[in-house]
A and B are shown apart, each in its own frame.
Chain A
Amino acid sequence: MENTRTPWKSYLAMTQTDLPVMKPFQLAPAKPVGEVCLDILSQRRFCLCLLAVLLAWISVDAAIAQSSGGSRPSALETILRWTPLIFFGPSGEVGGFLLNILVSFMAMAIGTFLGLWLGIGQISLIGPVRKASWLVTQIFRNSPWLVLLFFFMLLLPYEVEILGKRYEVPGWAKATFALSLPVMANVSEIVRGAIASLPTGQWESAESLAFSRRQTIWSIILPQCVKRMLPPWMNWYCILTMSTPLISILGVNDSMALTQNVMAAEDRSEILIPLYLWLMSWFFLYSYPIAVLTRRLERRFAVKQ
């Protein structure tokens, strides 16, 4: 029984020799994504960084509290008081850091869906479809994100009429749509690049097995592309998340807008730096593990040349 489960071991026993032979090797079992995330969080370096930031934070705060005389609440107290607001948003509406994450999820989902079709359109056999897909991709890839946000926030209607009822379109929904367009264009390029990087033999063997073009794309080409597309796709997710605070410029109550409101309400210059660093650390804690995971996947899936 033991032998059938681990055949390479018995094979190794059979080839006991002092001649220089190539030994069979065992691949490390793939870890689930959740476990890899835990791995990163338990890295010594990562924890040390966190600890250093925390220590610097506390010492700076103590110094500031001393210099300001101690009559007012310390910067740390002030910031902790406002943290729930900036994280969860005002009660009863969507906002704060959670809105940033929500917008990033939805824009990524919409952008990936549209980008997949656009990417397949870029390799279409029909000339006009191919050219139109290319043009749309290039336009949205080369436009600044903020310009697209302005364009769709100001030109989309602020309310829509469905079946005689008027519904207000919330600002964050329009912002999500606007942010999903550059994601769409970049996903389209990722899909096109991944398909182009597959050996032509895959297409030819599918053809020789009498697969139609549609069958070839959906059941042979795209499944093989997933591996190659995953790292750049995750990279774009990070970039998108880092762009979500832009929606605060257009008046959406995300964490950046709320942070500015807090600063205006407090009107104290000594909380500026800690508060900005506090907000940045949330984005960092969210994005850094994803970036590390992306690099690992990149190394694991690296195409040997």
Chain B
Amino acid sequence: MVWEWFRWLAETKGINLTIFYDDWDRGRFFAGVRTTIHLSTICIILSILIGILGAWLQKSRFRIVRGLVQAYIQFFRNTPPLVQIYFFYFAVDALLSDYMGISGGILGSYGWAVISLSFFAGAFNAEIFRAGIEAVPESTIESAESLGYTNAQIYRYVTLPLAFRVCLPALNGNLINLVKSTTIAYAIAVPETLYVSNQIWSDELNVTEMMYVMWLTYLLLVGALVWVMHRWEKSIRVPGFGRR
């Protein structure tokens, strides 16, 4: 068995990688990796929805709506994400459960991590989408108009496809940053990769080995996302538009 080789490695060379030969450690480590992937996926979807909503509300006719969206964006961009997650998990949760008369909090740490990280990344997404829509040249829209497209058709067939391609690089950067930011959920004890790695190295006293495993795991996760997104970016690039 391959697992047995790692047991041999631990006994003879002192490189103690318990997650490979110990079923219990392996179980919780991979549960942690699954939690990280799960958390990242939900946050990516929610943050994109928040971003679309934010970009749409930023073009609202009402000044107060535009002001509120701007305040939301600037607040989440210019305050530390760690303080935000603490704020949601400790302060907002206590306030809401007091107010609604529920004891023990209304959401667990996982739920608040999802909310806080989605709002954090959503603020950046809203700005990215708005910039993308603004980057579509006026003349392109005018030419579509002159070809007899209706406003809805222009939006559907001209503005959105172009805007999407323009903002994809920035969006990818932000989503990758979001996946990296899921480690902050460690602070409120969400059992993701960093948290379970910490548990394992406290139990098994193999700090160095576990540290390398954890770092490598994150590099693989983020690296895979970077690679896929980069391929996608290349495949739908508009020729002669934007930077090389």
Given known contacts A155-B208, A273-B92, A147 and B82 CB-to-CB distance under 8 angstroms: no
Question: Which residues of B in the span 72-93 have a Cβ within 8 Å of any Cβ on A?
Answer: 74-75, 77-84, 86-87, 90-92
Contact, CB under 8 Å: B78 / A287: yes
Interface flag for A244 (CB, 8 Å): yes
A238 to B207, CA, bound (A): 32
| Number of B positions contacting A (CB below 8 A) | 40
B181 (CB) vs chain A CBs: closest residue: A144
Partner pick for A245 among B80, B92, B223, B243, CB 8 A cutoff: B80
Interface flag for B176 (CB, 8 Å): yes
Partner pick for B211 among A145, A154, A243, CB 8 A cutoff: A154
A271 (CB) vs chain B CBs: closest residue: B91
A245 to B211, CA, bound (A): 21
A-B contact count (CB 8 A): 109
Q: Cβ of A273: which chain B residues have Cβ within 8 Å of it?
A: 87, 91-92, 95
Q: Cβ of B243: which chain A residues have Cβ within 8 Å of it?
A: 197
User: For chain A, what secondary structure do more than half of its interface residues adopt (helix, strand, loop), or is it mixed?
Assistant: helix
User: For chain B, what secondary structure do more than half of its interface residues adopt (helix, strand, loop), or is it mixed?
Assistant: helix
Given contacts A244-B80, A284-B75, 9 further A-B contacts (CB under 8 A): A146-B184, A146-B186, A151-B215, A256-B80, A256-B86, A272-B95, A276-B90, A280-B79, A280-B84
Contact, CB under 8 Å: A150 / B78: no
Given known contacts A143-B218, A249-B187, A283 and B78 CB-to-CB distance under 8 angstroms: yes
A265 CB → nearest B CB, Å: 15
Given known contacts A256-B82, A284-B75, A145 and B194 CB-to-CB distance under 8 angstroms: no
Interface flag for A57 (CB, 8 Å): no
Partner pick for A243 among B80, B86, B176, B186, CB 8 A cutoff: B80
Contact, CB under 8 Å: B194 / A147: yes
B223 (CB) vs chain A CBs: closest residue: A142
